[in-house]
Homo-oligomer: A and B are copies of this chain.
Amino acid sequence: MTNISMIRAAADRLNGHARRTPLLSSPFLDEIAGRRVLIKPECLQHTGSFKYRGARSAVSALDDTTRAKGVIAFSSGNHAQGVALAARQYGIPSVIVMPEDAPKLKIDNTRALGAEVVLYNRADGESREALGEQLQVERGLTLIRPYDEPQVIAGQGTTGLEIAEQAKAEGVEQADVLVCCGGGGLTSGIALALEAEAPGLRARPCEPEDFDDATRSLAAGEHRSNAQPSGSICDAIVTPTPGEITFPIMKRLCGAGLVVTEDECLRTMALAFQRLKLVIEPGGAVALAAALFRKDQIEGEAVLCTISGGNVDTNMFERALNQYGT
């Protein structure tokens, strides 16, 4: 189970590798939100999302012999690129198992970062696991899970250490920290970091409507699942239910979840373009959208929020600008 010592150790291993993203703000966003909004833009992280932190943490935590054999991950998106880059930095092989209908650009990017991409047929549910197990056994690869993995949570939690320091420097010691939530790795990691370093800050998961498994699970006190496995424009943060490791941490430490609409995510993308000069993906927008459009569900004079990633294609970005740009 991840704890604060593991997060601090991960921060040491990430030092000089993961980018320390700044804390951004805009008076125009403050006005919409009715309070001060401080934004942690992990779209500026290497590979365009916070996933690199967890990937690098997990790869760097392996012993040399194990690591030298290589790593494997299942991902159609941000985790794939994070693992590929971390592996390349260590000069070790990485295999990324991706659905054959994944966007060509993401497949190309993952390959360009040095990974061997193995495609599977998404329609055949068994094939992915079988393929992955076979590769692990044959080549001695270590599986890097996207969130239910203590060292991945520890790496993602380093975002929380930075938020604690940066919020303090801004004079904010009592506030909600809104986190884009899929499986809960980033949310639980940040929650653990805040518990130790900034007890006045409280993590709260944010999700798109119809894919609010974490929010409903927290309200119920036990795992709840989404009705649909996919179908959100916020695909990067959609998972069926919170993780086995992440959920108990969230349950102990997090405030209630916040749920936003897809339109609010698109509107937030247009605002981030105009006011922050940031490119954010729909899933990466949910926490800022909650800060802007769920103000009655938030208390305090300030709110912090993460932007989890910026890997959005041109069409989706133009959709946001065309609908909500000025």
**Would you give the shortest CB distance from A236 to chain B, in whole angstroms?**
13
CA distance A227 to B128 in the complex (A): 63
Q: Which residue from B19, B85, B109, B321 sits with its C-beta under 8 Å from A22?
A: B19
Given contacts A48-B277, A273-B279, A278-B278, contact A27 B314 (CB under 8 A): no
What are the 9 tightest A-B residue pairs by CB atom distance, in nearest-first order?
A277-B310, A314-B325, A277-B279, A43-B277, A314-B321, A273-B279, A48-B277, A22-B22, A318-B318
Residue contacts A-B, CB under 8 angstroms, 29 given: A19-B22, A19-B24, A20-B22, A21-B22, A24-B44, A27-B85, A27-B112, A27-B113, A28-B112, A41-B277, A43-B277, A44-B276, A44-B277, A44-B278, A273-B279, A273-B314, A273-B317, A277-B278, A277-B279, A277-B280, A277-B310, A278-B278, A278-B279, A279-B279, A314-B321, A314-B322, A314-B325, A318-B321, A318-B322
Closest to A114 in B: B27
Residues from chain B with Cβ under 8 Å of A41 in the complex: 277
Q: Which residues of B contact A48 (CB under 8 A)?
A: 277
The answer, yes or no, to whether A105 is at the interface (CB within 8 Å) is yes
Please tell me if A326 contacts chain B, counting CB pairs below 8 Å.
yes
Q: Which of A294-317 contact B (CB under 8 A)?
A: 310, 314, 317
- Per the bound structure, the CA–CA distance linking A21 and B278 in Å amounts to 13
Residues of A1-46 contacting chain B, CB below 8 A: 19-22, 24, 27-28, 41, 43-44
Given contact pairs A43-B277, A44-B276, A318-B321, a sample of 9 additional A-B residue pairs in the complex whose CB atoms are under 8 Å apart: A19-B24, A22-B22, A24-B44, A27-B113, A44-B278, A273-B279, A273-B314, A273-B317, A318-B318
A residues 86-106 touching B (CB-CB < 8 Å): 105
A44 to B113 alpha-carbon distance, docked (Å): 27
Chain A interface extent, by class? 20 to 34
A20 to B280, CA, bound (A): 21
CB-nearest residue of chain B to A169? B16
Query: For residue A24, which residues in chain B have a CB less than 8 angstroms away from its CB?
Result: 19, 44
CA–CA, A196 and B277, complex, Å: 31
Instruction: Report the minimum CB–CB distance from A211 to chain B (whole Å).
Output: 23
CB A280 to nearest CB in B, in angstroms, measures 7
B residues less than 8 Å from A112 (CB atoms): 27-28
Q: Which residues of B contact A85 (CB under 8 A)?
A: 27
User: CA of A21 to CA of B113 in the docked complex: distance in angstroms?
Assistant: 26
Q: How many Å lie between the Cα of A19 and that of B38 in the bound state?
A: 13
Find A317's partner among B22, B113, B321 (CB 8 Å cutoff): B321
Alpha-carbon separation in the docked complex, A321 to B318 (Å): 8
For the complex formed, measure the closest distance between the CB of A61 and the CB atoms of chain B, giving whole angstroms. Answer: 23
Closest to A310 in B: B277
A244-277 CB mask vs B (1 if < 8 Å, else 0) is 0000000000000000000000000000010011
Contact of A314 (CB < 8 Å), options: B20, B44, B314, B326: B326
Residue of B nearest to A311 (CB): B277
Binary interface encoding of chain A residues 123-145 relative to chain B, with 1 for a CB under 8 A from any of its CBs, else 0: 00000000000000000000000
What is the CB-to-nearest-CB distance from A282 to chain B, in angstroms, rounded to a whole number? 14
